[in-house]
Amino acid sequence: MSKPVVFSGIQPSGNLHVGNYLGAVKHWIELQDSDKYDCYFCIVDYHSLTGNRGADERREQTLTTAAELLALGIDPNKSTLFIQSHVPECTELAWIFNTVTPVVELERMTQFKDKSKQQTKNINAGLFTYPVLQAADILLYHGELVPVGADQVQHIELTRNITRWFNKRYTEYFLEPKPLLTEAPKVMSLLEPDKKMSKSLGEGHVIELADEPKVIENKLKKAVTATTGGGKAPGVDNLLLLLEHFADGDVCQQFVKAEKAGKISYSELKGVVAEAVASSFADFRERRAHLLSDPAVLKAQLSDGAKKARVVAEKTMKEARELAGIK
Ligand code: AQP
């Protein structure tokens, strides 16, 4: 019996942050280690072309992202880990999907609207069709479960629709995938806690997993907690969420109680969060440095992953071409 396929991707647009970890990558590792799924994890460098970074930076960050995923526990013997552009079939399938996807549906995508505001001088067509390429990635491997953060749910819904549009126009072929969320599907920015933590917001907004303890401490010192006017402060909730996931259980409860009693010290909370996050990733930082010291080994692992992925991708693409009446 074949196992259900899990597929997910991450952009090489910067070092991984605690949002990427709690919302997605931690879940990837749990699913991989459960041994119940056939897991594909992809570093989506084609997707990252929609941003502003240069070629050299992209190439370097792609390897760094691979090292970070391996250092966190993605195991190439258990999962297929690869770089998206090493399996270019996804761009061909994306083209077919572009032709069944109504423009109005893409116009509804909140990520497109947000990114268009963030990069006003570079609102490229790739940014608009980004979720179509994402659908192609998932369906190329017949992904059934897609572990992502809350911000990606709308895109997975669109993937489900693309499946229906393709199947209706041609033949019932693709299965509709489902998003899988963690208990922390949306970690917020440290400086603007009404926005999700995002690499593209800038340095002070994110805690990178590779940040040294002092850096984490300094970032947390500047984190927005409660603003005047009372009410529930999203910045405080966000720090408590980090504590819940990175510190021992009762530590978080003590701060939750103190907050309810109006006796919480934000500077103390920030110090404890900094310590908990930094110590949770101490081993990771060592493994990451070790992996990055030998890029040839990393590249060989990624090339093996792409070979495995390509076997499935070529089969799907051959069938999809036939169904669409090309070749
Ligand atoms: N703040 C977050 N909380 C929970 N999950 C998150 N994810 C991202 N930010 C958070 C999830 O991480 C996975 C990989 O994300 P990505 O790098 O491919 O794309 P992204 O969502 O665009 O991440 P960023 O940090 O916001 O990158 P930029 O700024 O470059 O666009 C996804 O599953 C995502 O949901």
Write the DSSP assignment of 6-35 as a string of letters. EEEEE--SSS-BHHHIIIIIHHHHHHHHHT
Nearest 10 degrees: Cα torsion 47, 310, 149, 201: -30
For ligand 1, pick from 110, 118, 152 the residue to mutate: most ligand atoms within 8 Å of CB. Answer: 152
User: For residue 248, what pLDDT is reported?
Assistant: 87
Q: Which residue, 206, 195, 273, 275, is CA-closest to 234?
A: 195
**Taking the model in full, what pTM does it have?**
0.96
What integer is the mean pLDDT of 24-48?
Answer: 98
| Statement: residue 66 has pLDDT above 90 | yes
In the chain, what percentage of residues exceed pLDDT 90? 93
Question: Would residue 115 show up in a list of annotated catalytic residues for this protein?
Answer: yes
Give yes or no for residue 229 having a pLDDT over 90: no
Which one of the listed residues 115, 168, 195, 318 is annotated catalytic? 115
For the cut 70, the answer to whether the pLDDT of residue 228 exceeds it is: no
The CB of 84 under 6 Å from ligand 1? The reply is: no
Q: What is the mean pLDDT of residues 55-83?
A: 98
Which whole number is the average pLDDT over 61-82?
Answer: 98
Residue 20 in contact with ligand 1 by CB distance below 6 A: yes
Catalytic residue among 196, 214, 260, 318: 196
Q: DSSP E strands: which ranges in 103-177? A: 145-147
122, pLDDT greater than 60 = yes
Q: What angle, rounded to 10 degrees, do the helices at 110-118 and 125-140 form? A: 140
pLDDT of residue 141: 98
Express each pLDDT in 133-186 by its tens digit.
Answer: 999 999 999 999 999 999 999 999 999 999 999 999 999 999 999 999 999 999
Residue 267 has pLDDT above 90, yes or no: yes
Q: Which atom of ligand 1 is nearest to the CA of 148?
A: 33
- Alpha-carbon distance of 166 to 23, in angstroms, equals 30
What mean pLDDT comes out for the span 199-205?
A: 90
Mean pLDDT, all residues of the chain:
96
